[in-house]
Amino acid sequence: AAIASTDMGLLLRDDVFVDFFNTFLNLPVFGQTPIYISGVGQWNLWPELSSHLDPNPTALLAWLEKHRLPHFCKSSLCLHLVLCQKLLGFIRSGEAAELLNWQSADQWLLEKCISGSQGMQHFRAFVQGTAGEELTDFWLTTERLLGLDESDMSQRDLYLSLIHRLKASHLREGSSVITLCTTITGSLPKAKHIQSISNRRDILRKMQEQALSMIQSYWLPKFFTHCKMGIEDQESCQPLLQEYQERLLQADWQEPSGFSETPPMMHIKRSQGLSGPYCSQKAKAKIWALVKEGRGTQEMKMPSFQVKPERQPGSAGSTRESHLDKHALGSIPQQSEHPANSAFDGKGGVTPPRRPSAKQVSRLEDLCKEKILSNLPSSAPLVQLPSLKGSARTLSFLPWALSADTCAGRPFRDFLQHHDRPVETHLLDLWHDLEEFLPVVLDSSRENNFFLRHLNSDKICKTYLEEDNIEKLPLETRTLTGLWNHLIFGEFSPWIFRAQKEICKVLCCFYEEFLAADDRTFLQFMSPGGDVPMPEMQGHTADRGKSFLLSQRINQTLKLSQALHGTRNLEGVSSEYWQLLASRDLQKGGSTQAEMELLL
């Protein structure tokens, strides 16, 4: 709420805000995806405006404040920004210096390591698999919950969903949160009987403060030690290490305020002689083709492993498993139960079970989508799905855009609701819920996997697949049956990808309308007089090398946002983290630009 009510010009003076906001702005659900280089006060637009226009930065800020900032404030990136600001506030405080015996150089190094969306990804990867991960998840979920008004019917479903998530994962006996907050939560078992909403909120707020205090006083110092050891070992970080050592000798060094005191004059980079009509849909199709081309340059090899759900706590029997080797990708499993003793290696032999890495899980999702969708049998549809002859290019990148919609505060969903499309909104909700179920069911190593897997699958079954609700879904009967047969047991099902593909066919033309409306609004703000005709569907010329880097920037931004949101697995800390840290400068594009420096 504080961010939403702050002037955009003032927000952009905070380099940490700029980093998170740039990550958000480059998510591929939107039409216009600009980036702000705060060190020189320059906005780079994409797609670029025609060269005859002389865009005004004031108009751009007004457009951002009205048509981007409200969605940012509902995104997981904004939650991570708030947490990052609280951690930075502690790092810069006299309390931290006294409590942890930090010198100003230590504060500078830790601030550099944790600032921005990549810094928070690094921190979350560091605490992964520890009590620190659960405390961080709890803080983020509670922050989102406390920002909602449960008496507002439009927020009621999300509020209840978050309450159920907290109960299933953090507010249960034995959790790290309950163990930490025992002195506060004595009344929690009876919380459902508390009539006062304010009492319930007060309890959660106090628990959140306790969790934050533990993150600040215990996990931040451990992260600092980890970062110091990392930069000492990595050759790419030697300049950073040298600057840190020099600052240790500067006792009078002043800690930064986090704000640019005298920001440079803001301006928009002029287009490179472009004269065609402005059309983000056409430009996005070209960029997506380059993203796919970039993927195609690396040979995709399917690792042999099983996806093994956690055993139900307290049970002694075997668990249901979904074995996914390369032979299973071409057809739909006919039975829900599979042998639990071994995994096949594809050559007839047997390999011992092993836990998939985060990269393998992400690769599995990509492979499943590519292989399964091309081999699923057709069936008689419940209703006739729309013909998409004229929208084939949009359909090809729509899953990419919808994944970004999940991380971006769901602007496409708001568009559907605003245009009174309840069926399409319901379908989009199903697409998002399936997307969030996948990483939980495919990676049994996730914290609270068993509880979250069944919480998510139960929600999908009750909301979309039970008899009263299934009639609302214009999907094929066999697809819906396939989903039900597996999700009712909390299992992975390849029918998830089939359902998402069918949903995309229904939503494709509405997404094109969304992009056209986004273009129209942007041009009205940016053009003198605001009277701009709808652009024709013509090409948007750009240098191929520049376009390829742009495609990678947007795709890497999506991966980073998915990792923070939870729809992509956080990878373990690797040498790439240190390379990104060495090249990251918040005033020169920050997290978004660091990926490009690494590519170059």
pLDDT in tens, 205-262: 999 999 999 999 999 999 999 999 988 888 888 888 999 998 888 865 555 555 656 7
pLDDT of residue 320: 39
Model confidence pLDDT, tens digit, residues 360-401: 545 544 544 444 444 433 333 334 445 555 567 788 889 989
Distance, in Å, from the CA atom of 585 to the CA atom of 592, rounded to the nearest integer, reads: 10
pLDDT at residue 334 is higher than 60: no
Strand partners, 44: 35
Burial classification of residue 347, based on how many CB atoms lie within 10 Å of its CB (0-12 exposed, 13-18 middle, 19 or more buried): exposed
- 596 and 553 Cβ atoms separated by less than 8 Å: yes
pLDDT band at residue 430 under the 50/70/90 scheme: very high
Q: Looking at residues 112-132, what average pLDDT do you find?
A: 92
Q: How do residues 467-496 score in pLDDT, each as one tens digit?
A: 777 777 889 989 999 999 999 998 898 999
Mean pLDDT of 179-184: 76
Whether the Cβ atoms of residue 594 and residue 584 lie closer than 8 Å to each other: yes
Across 346-355, average pLDDT: 34
How far is 108 from 121, CA to CA, in rounded Å? 19
State residue 22 phi and psi, 5-degree precision. Answer: -60, -40
Question: How high is the pLDDT of residue 208?
Answer: 94
Q: Is the pLDDT reported for residue 592 higher than 70? A: yes
Residue of higher predicted confidence among 384 and 550: 550
* CB neighbourhood size of 176 (10 A): 19
Helix segments in 328-448, DSSP class H: 358-375, 392-407, 411-418, 422-442
Confidence grade of residue 90 (pLDDT, cut at 50, 70, 90): very high
Please give the share of the chain, as a percent, with pLDDT higher than 70: 74
Does pLDDT of 545 surpass 50?
A: yes
- Does the pLDDT at position 169 exceed 90? no
Name which of 570, 365, 410, 359 is nearest 24 in CA terms: 410
On the question of pLDDT at 162 being above 70, the answer is: yes
Query: What does the pLDDT average to over 276-281?
Result: 79
Helices first, then strands: H and E counts in the chain: 26, 7
Question: Which of 165, 186, 175 minimizes the C-alpha distance to 211?
Answer: 175
Distance CA 118, CA 595 (A): 10
CB 138 within 8 A of CB 83: no
Report the pLDDT value the prediction gives residue 330, as an integer from 0 to 100: 31
Q: What is the pLDDT of residue 98?
A: 86
Residue type, 41: G
- Per-residue pLDDT, 277: 76
The whole-angstrom separation of Cα 141 and Cα 166 is 7
Amino acid, single-letter form, for residue 452: L
Interacting residues of 93 by C-beta distance below 8 A, sequence separation 6+: none
pLDDT band for position 544 (cuts 50, 70, 90): confident
Model pLDDT, residue 225:
93
Neighbour tally for 279: CB within 10 Å: 21
Using alpha carbons only, give the angle 479, 480, 485 rounded to the nearest 5 degrees: 100
- Host H or E run for residue 306: strand 305-307
Please tell me the distance from the alpha carbon of residue 120 to that of residue 220, in angstroms, as a whole number.
12
Length of the chain: 600
* Residue 258: predicted pLDDT: 55
Decide if pLDDT at 406 tops 80.
yes
Confidence of residue 294 (pLDDT cuts 50, 70, 90): low
* Better-predicted residue by pLDDT, 311 or 563: 563
How high is the pLDDT of residue 149?
A: 85
- pLDDT, the chain, mean: 77
Instruction: Give dist(CA 149, CA 381) in Å, integer.
Output: 40
Q: How far apart are CA 205 and CA 489, in angstroms?
A: 35
Q: Max alpha carbon distance in the chain (Å)?
A: 75
Residues 6+ apart with CB under 8 A from 397: 28, 284, 285, 288, 291
Looking at the predicted structure, is the pLDDT value of residue 309 above 50?
Answer: no
Which has the minimum average pLDDT: 109-118, 135-144, 276-285?
A: 276-285
- Whether the ω angle into residue 47 lies within 30 degrees of 0, i.e. cis, is yes
Q: How far apart, in whole angstroms, are the C-alpha atoms of residue 196 and residue 208?
A: 19
Rg (CA), the chain: 25
Least confidently predicted of 207-211, 317-321, 468-472, 516-520: 317-321
What's the pLDDT tens digit per position in 73-84?
Answer: 999 999 999 999
Lowest model confidence (mean pLDDT) among 126-135, 179-188, 251-260, 349-358: 349-358
Given the DSSP bridges, would you call strands 343-344 and 350-351 parallel, antiparallel or unpaired? antiparallel
Concatenating the DSSP letter of every residue in 281-327 gives: HHHHHHHHHHHHHHHHTS------EEE-PPPPTT--SPPP-EEE-TT
